[in-house]
Amino acid sequence: MEVVQQKKGKSKLKRWQKVSLVGLGIFIVLIISMFIFVNGYINRNLPQIEGKASLPGLSESVEVIRDDEGVPHIKANTERDLFMAQGYIQAQDRLFQMDMARRQASGRLSEVAGEVALERDKYFRTLGLRRAAEKSYQTYSEEAKQVMEWYAAGVNGFIDQAKSSNSLPIEFTLMGGKPEKWTPIDSLTIGKYMAFDLGGHWERQAFNYFLLQNLPEEKAYELFPTYPKNAPTIMKEEEINVSSLLKEAVLPHPFNGSNNWVVSGNKTSSGKPLLADDPHLGLATPSIWYQMHLSSPDYEVSGVIFAGIPGIILGHNENIAWGVTNTGPDVQQLYLEKRNPDNPNEFLFESDYEEATVINEEIKVKNGDNVNYEVIETRHGPLISEFAKKSGKETALSLRWTALDASTELEAILEINQASNWEEFEKGLEKFLVPAQNFVFASKNGTIAYKANGKIPIYEDGSDALLPLEGWEQENEWQKFIPFDELPTIINPEKGFIATANNKVVGDEYPYHISNNWAQPYRYQRIEEVLHERNKLTTDDMKNLQMDQKDLRAQEFVPIFLEHVDEQAVNDYGAKALQLLRKWNYVDDVDAPEPLIFNKWMKTFTDRLYEKQIPEGMMGFFKGSGQTTDELIRKASSGKNVTWIEEQGGLPKALALSLNETITDLIDENGKEITSWEWGDFHKVEFTHPLSSVAFLDRFFNPKDPKPVGGSKVTVMAASYDYSEGIVDHGASWRFVADLNNLLSASHLVGPGQSGHFRSKWYHSQRDNWVNGGYHETKTKGYEGEKLMLQPE
């Protein structure tokens, strides 16, 4: 009986094992099938880059060749077909990015992201970038409107095809929803967002006002912006309780800057000008820039553009090349507004109350109820304090900003794309109003030039731009703007080069105020130093300079720190760190310990100065804090009394305490062997995708590991980073070098790559080159690659 039961038991076990194996097999087949399905679905979203595709509305076939780096070369027989194809091709590679960009700028992220994006949407509805775009559209010429319509038709042609074939980018499936039709207003709204991203100065006005409200006057004024007295300018004399009100504001990154320079043929090996440009913006996937080459009988231009906009904003054509950096003028003004206690929508001006404009905005929220939101605009602009839910206060803050006026930047882009000399180029710049930019220019005929271009208000006294003004006083109104012909301009200077790096543009001899806040001068000083010393310059020299990691801030302040630090108060490991710094060559090398020690020391010193007296939420408004801190240290090291430093026990003690704290933290993170520390162990670049923070998606959308990288925020090879984690999130979003001796090609780098699709071979194909200084040559003649023919339906 026992034997029979054992046999039955063994039989059941075998049957269970058999069933289990069958079940496991079915499970494996299901997993494989699901993988194949998902893989096939994802691959179906990849752009078609070969063969033939139809695009309704084309009059003739259009050739699209993608070269080795995925740069599309579009060749059409008419401008209509050219811009339709540009819209279609951009949408192939970047549709999700385009859709998110117009949503963010329009205040419509909540529709796909839910309540988490509601406060951001309220802020952008309050600013009214889309309302400004709608006003701007009315001022465009019929020819420019037609270009925008052609471009939108191309985008919509792709959207329709992707919807019908169920091949929209995978991000739409993950977020939910589908893209709406593209319109010219969408393109202009994205342009207005770039004016926002490149910032203004209202944050610093709010910060200064906070200081005066909460600190002794003398101490507050110590943090007001100044600029190093001996720092060079682009143009020499001979060449011509705010913290609570604004706590929810969305602030642009403080490091949005750039480098550019142009060298005359007198200093180059070829005898023709060289031009270099590397705009510093957010580093993410996909890149903010999209590189293209556009060709038709009357249109030949190559360079980059923001996804969602037609034309080429930076680059070259057959005769000229150009680049930009951010000028950073005072183009935003906060106004204190007095509300009528009997009518909350009326505000005092002179002796009368004026009715404000009330705009009712309905914000749709995914998985939530719609939100009815009220925006109030005074004569100056939107009430941004209302965003912080402080309505009902007698005094509110409104924002006057040039970008909220009608402007015609796209019209300017289309004109400068076809310019053949400086006169035609400068004529096109008259229509480029916001954001104000430092344009450098070079032409085949040898001309090099510069213009600080844009709509810049005239302040009778530059100090007026430091604080909010009383909105009820007529004398505080903006009356005029700097005349176009009087904007800072240089043509063919004797020194043979022009460079800009967001530094101070003009000296005191210039009759108009431009800004109180300039970037620290170190990048410009290094560029000027190299260009001044060298002749027979080549494109390789320009590339090397774009990757230069000499840290002039460290070169200035390490000797000051070494001279003044109280070494008796420094611990043993701190003493070893000082020994390393004494021998440092001031290069922010990825493998060196000194950049790690110095940059962390400077950050710790800065934190100790401000953390107890400036609320964390207000530090984001402290625009130009690095420049201010530098000035405090300079003054203290020269023997002047600086309250902020004296409260830390004086410069020697403050330096010693902050060094000890720095070294303790670094030992915890990197161990006790100081000489083995490396800047790149902390300072790394990743290029994160906006959806990579969701669950497991980072393994698909982000590269496997961040890459160690040299440089810093003050080196020419700009690499600004998140101080808590060391991730480099701002820097050269595009690098460009053009030799005017041969404009049939130019050197480019778009980090991290051209494509927005994570399965594309061009998704992160330029990431290593971004770190190491690699470039690719983009030809405008004789290029080869995969060919797609767009054909009329």
Question: What's the CA gap between 625 and 404, in Å, rounded?
Answer: 27
Q: Take residue 571 and report the two structure tokens written for it.
A: 């611990």
The total number of residues written for the chain in this structure: 793
Q: Per-residue DSSP letters for 318-343?
A: SSEEEEEEE-----EEEEEEEEETTE
At 352, give phi and psi (nearest 5°). Answer: -120, 155
Which value, in Å, is the radius of gyration of the alpha carbons in the chain?
A: 29
Residue 791 three-state SS: strand
**For 239, which DSSP code?**
G
Omega into 511 within 30° of 0, i.e. cis? Answer: no
- Tokens matching residue 762: 């061009």
Q: Are 540 and 490 in contact (CB under 8 A)?
A: no
SS (H, E, C) 693-707: CCCCCHHHHCCCCCE
Asked whether the beta carbons of 629 and 523 are under 8 A apart, the reply is no
Distance CA 473, CA 352 (A): 11
Q: What is the dihedral of CA 579, 580, 585, 590, to 10 degrees?
A: -170
Alpha helices in 683-754, H assignment, sequence order: 698-701
Which residues on neighbouring strands pair with residue 750, listed in sequence order?
Answer: 734
Cα 527 from Cα 531, distance rounded (Å): 6
Work out whether the CA dihedral 606, 607, 613, 618 comes out positive or negative. Answer: positive
* Of the candidates 323, 381, 309, the residue with the CA atom closest to the CA atom of residue 105: 309
Cβ atoms of 501 and 325 within 8 Å: the answer is yes
* Residue 292 three-state SS: strand
Which two structure tokens, joined as six digits, stand for 63?
């050739």
Cα-based angle 590, 281, 723 (whole degrees, multiple of 5): 50
**Cross-strand pairs, 698:** none
Q: What letter represents residue 728's amino acid?
A: V
User: β-strand 357-363 against 371-377: which pairing, if any?
Assistant: antiparallel
Element (H, E) at 556: helix 552-564
* 258 classed as catalytic: yes
CA distances, 347 to each of 175, 205, 357, 376, 443 (Å): 42, 21, 11, 11, 52
Token pair for 673: 């062997």
Give the up-direction half-sphere exposure of residue 609: CA atoms within 13 A in the CB hemisphere.
26
Nearest by Cα to 182 from 49, 84, 280? 84
Angle in degrees, CA 428, 432, 436, rounded to 5: 135
Which amino acid is located at 448 in the chain?
Answer: I
What is the maximum span of the chain, computed from C-alpha positions, in angstroms? 115
Catalytic residue among 106, 167, 187, 258: 258
Q: Choose among 533, 536, 552: nearest CA to 716.
A: 552
**Rounded CA gap, 255 and 339, in Å?**
36
DSSP state of 623: T
Q: Name residue 268's beta-bridge partners.
A: 537
Can you list the positions of beta strands (E) in 512-632?
none
Helix, strand or coil, per DSSP, at residue 493:
coil
Residues with a catalytic annotation lie at: 258
